[in-house]
Amino acid sequence: MQKIIDIYKSRAGEPMYSFEFFPPKDEAGEESLRAALQSLAQMKPDFASVTYGAGGSAQGRTSRWVTDIQREHAITGMAHFTCIGSSRAAVVNVLEDFKSNNIQNIMALRGDLPRDNPDYRPPVDGFRFANELIEFIHSEYPGFCIGAACYPEIHQEAPDAATDIENLKRKVDAGVDFLVTQLFFDNDRFLRFRDLCERQGIRVPIIPGIMPITAWSQIDRFTKMAACNIPQELQAALSVVQNEPQELRATSLAYSIRQCRDLLREGVPGLHFYTLNKSPVTIQILTTLQEGAL
């Protein structure tokens, strides 16, 4: 398996395509993910990532699924890793597990603060922020390729865009090889964010994260939980068909294809699809992009 940054360099300007999954919690979920992987593997992605449970609750499942993706499907894998609540020794144990399973790519994250513990404090020997975790991995485990998250519409805890970019610069300077954005629907906001990164000396590849809306209920969730702006054009179009699932899906799909095409025209290094462990929508988008001219 390859390091993602090496895949990027080998593409010579051609965009990468990648998928994200989450570890299922039960047997039915596992069967669903296996079916999605079987279908999506036919699209020959450049890499696939698996998320990490809240507080590391899915640590073993993350490693197992990334290993399965690499061994069974011959796809380069990336393991997400959140350091929140973990001691340094626990972090080392996870990194050693990744290393022993030939996992070379890590998405290094702090993780969400516990909602039920407003007075949370990290372990004394743990890591408070993602940049500290990244610096540790980069220094102590230089064999890993490190990805990090970024936020075109700023992180929810950041007071303003300038502070958010400063925090991102700290992460990149600590040893990040590439960035993947949180999902967004407004390309103009992404492009302004990319320009701001360039002005601040952030010059690692920034891969847009894509997640089509497949149900009207997702709009409220995206806007509240992910602080994600839904453009008026898209929201108006979806509102007309909010009670017609197939029409809503078709409308959203058309918007996502147009969004992806416009991003590719802007020269993004790739597209990272948040699949929610389902394959049809992602396959439709990627097939259209690969078959049609931009």
Classify residue 196 by its DSSP letter: H
Strands of 104-261 (E only): list them. 105-109, 145-150, 178-183, 206-210
- Distance CA(59)–CA(188), nearest Å, equals 36
Catalytic residue among 20, 132, 135, 153: 20
Pairing verdict, β 206-210 and 178-183: parallel
118, pLDDT greater than 80 = no
Domains annotated on the chain, with CATH: 4-291 (3.20.20.220)
Is residue 231 scored above 80 in pLDDT? yes
Does residue 83 have a pLDDT over 90?
A: no
Separation between Cα atoms, residue 46 and residue 26, nearest integer Å: 28
Q: Is 220 exposed, middle or buried (0-12, 13-18, 19+ CB in 10 A)?
A: exposed
Output the pLDDT for position 293: 52
pLDDT for 117: 63
Q: Report whether 213 contacts 237 (CB < 8 A).
A: no
What is the per-residue pLDDT for 277?
94
Lowest mean per-residue pLDDT among 64-68, 119-123, 268-272: 119-123
166 in active site = no
pLDDT tens digits for 154-212? 877 788 888 999 999 999 999 999 999 999 999 999 999 999 999 999 999 999 999 98
Per-residue confidence (pLDDT) for residue 119, from 0 to 100: 65
Place of tokens 């990290």: 122
Q: How confident is the model at residue 294 (pLDDT cuts 50, 70, 90)?
A: low
